[in-house]
Structure 1
Amino acid sequence: MVTGALVVIVVAVVVLSILHRRSQRADAADRARLFERVVPLVQDARLTCDGGGYPVLTGRLAGHPVTLRAIVDAVTLRKLPVLWVELVVHRALEVEGTVNVLLRPLGTEFFSPDAGFAHELAPPPGLPRPVRVACASAYRAPSAEVLAGLLAPATELCGDPATKELSVGRGGLRVVLRVAEGDQASYRSVRRAVFDHPRVDPDAVLRAVAVLDATGDRVSAGEVRS
């Protein structure tokens, strides 16, 4: 009987191990498809792995190099995990320094550079609250008029609940958008950030790129100077 029990235990362990490996492979394959609806829009599209299981997409959109990467946020207590995507449009801009807009700040945004911007600015009219607008120092701070002009094209995008952060700096423009919220059952039971087949919306990406380009174009055309 002891031998029989041991055989059953060994078989059960083997079966569970096989099922676990299959689940891991299926999860990895699903993560790899995060940008599958965006890739056809991107010129010279290239997918690489960031080490977290999700791909990084690089290429060109609207004539500028872009980078899209996933961010898994599971550090905020009493909140379900969130899958964000960071979109960066790389282009040289003649600004004094980076202006960062963090919407609904919680102080737990590990992916945000906000903590490095000590000088807080008064949010221009039209930006939703709560919001923190900041730059590195008072010496690089744009005037209220310049700030309003700089962020004018992004006001509607910032009002979208899916938008978390927007930055304008010398190296380009950046926005962070929500893709999905974690599965409640998985998180409550085993504290795992599990998302139900998340896919980045191509329309959301195109809209964000259009806003970032409009903002960058205003700077390049000399309409705003920070």
Structure 2
Amino acid sequence: MFLAVSVLIALTAAVFCLRQGRRSAAWRAGLLSGCAPRLEAPRLGRDRAGFATLDGSHDSLPVAVRLIPEALVHRRLPQLWLSVSLRCRLPTGATLDVLRRPAGAEFYAPADLPLRLDTPAGWPADTLVRGTPEAEALLRRAEPILAKILADPRVKEVLVTPRGLRLVVQAAQGARGAYLLTRGSRFDLDGVAPALLDETLAGLHRLARALSHNPDEIDHVRAA
């Protein structure tokens, strides 16, 4: 009798875990479904962790949308970041990375930038600015529009390269109860709001126009 009950409990637990796994996988895969109509020729996919990916174009420029679940950081709730990349040729040979609230867990940020630049006056004090040689001149050109972008507390990173731009913003913050009980990541989010993607794309286009010699003719970069 005891053995039969133990087997039944084990089977019930296995079925529960299987269903939970399937629900979790479906949730991760569907997070960007509502955002797809915002792009031209949208293509939904999944990354290796099962999180949704979205590729397409916006105003004729190639766009890549990714989700980044942040590793647990001491004394901070888990974060789910929305990363939006706009591929376009910019008149610079430098790379500039602006990172808010660095915690050492930002694996997506470039790790090989040799210069640490002074944070412009008026910017949030927790901003880390790094770049390659000639990035100081790029920072001076981009400073006014970057200041407006950084005024949004959801912004985590702005990356400027010769081949395009990337903006990383907060999509969701982990549920406090689940984190305190299990130190696990659970996000109260059915899907990324299309309005958040719209705002992020608008910021990227404003930055691209500000950095371009001819704002009306921004060339796209072919995907490698």
Count of residue pairs the alignment pairs up: 215
Structure 1 match to 2:62: 65
| 8 A Cα contact 1:30 1:197, kept in partner | no
Write the distance in 2 (CA, Å) between the matches of 1:39 and 1:79: 31
Q: Give the superposition deviation at 1:198.
A: 4.3
Give the counterpart of 1:122 among 118, 121, 126.
118
Q: Deviations over 1:148-197 (max 9, x none)?
A: 33132232221111100001111100011111111223223333211123
Is the deviation greater in 183-192 or in 68-77? 183-192
Question: Could you say which structure has the larger radius of gyration?
Answer: 1
Structure 1 match to 2:19: 22
Q: Give the superposition deviation at 1:222.
A: 5.8
Structure 2 match to 1:135: 131
Write the distance in 2 (CA, Å) between the matches of 1:122 and 1:167: 16
| 8 A Cα contact 1:183 1:193, kept in partner | yes
2:71 equivalent to 1:79: no
2:7 equivalent to 1:10: yes
Structure 1 match to 2:219: none
Structure 1: runs of 5 or more not aligned? none
Write the distance in 2 (CA, Å) between the matches of 1:202 and 1:49: 18
Write the distance in 1 (CA, Å) between the matches of 2:54 and 2:179: 27
Give the counterpart of 1:173 among 154, 165, 168.
165
Change (3 A) 1:27 1:9: same
Percent identity, please: 30
Change (3 A) 1:112 1:198: farther
Write the distance in 2 (CA, Å) between the matches of 1:33 and 1:163: 23
Write the distance in 1 (CA, Å) between the matches of 2:123 and 2:60: 28
TM-score, normalised relative to structure 2: 0.89
Is the deviation greater in 151-160 or in 47-56? 151-160
Write the distance in 2 (CA, Å) between the matches of 1:16 and 1:57: 34
Give the counterpart of 1:111 among 108, 113, 116.
108
| 8 A Cα contact 1:179 1:199, kept in partner | no
Structure 2 match to 1:54: 51
Q: Deviations over 1:14-37 (max 9, x none)?
A: 111111111111111111221122
Q: Deviations over 1:92-146 (max 9, x none)?
A: 1121211111112223322211x3222112223442222111112xx32333xx5
Structure 1 match to 2:177: 185
Write the distance in 2 (CA, Å) between the matches of 1:126 and 1:156: 11
Structure 1 match to 2:91: 94
| 8 A Cα contact 1:151 1:215, kept in partner | no
| 8 A Cα contact 1:154 1:212, kept in partner | no
Q: Give the superposition deviation at 1:9.
A: 0.6
| 8 A Cα contact 1:80 1:181, kept in partner | yes
**Runs of 4+ deviating beyond 3 Å:** none
Question: Which amino acid in 2 is paired with 1:76?
Answer: V
2:141 equivalent to 1:149: yes
Give the counterpart of 1:194 among 186, 194, 217.
186
| 8 A Cα contact 2:31 2:191, kept in partner | yes
**Root mean square deviation, CA, Å:** 1.8
| 8 A Cα contact 2:71 2:105, kept in partner | no
Question: Which amino acid in 2 is paired with 1:185?
Answer: G
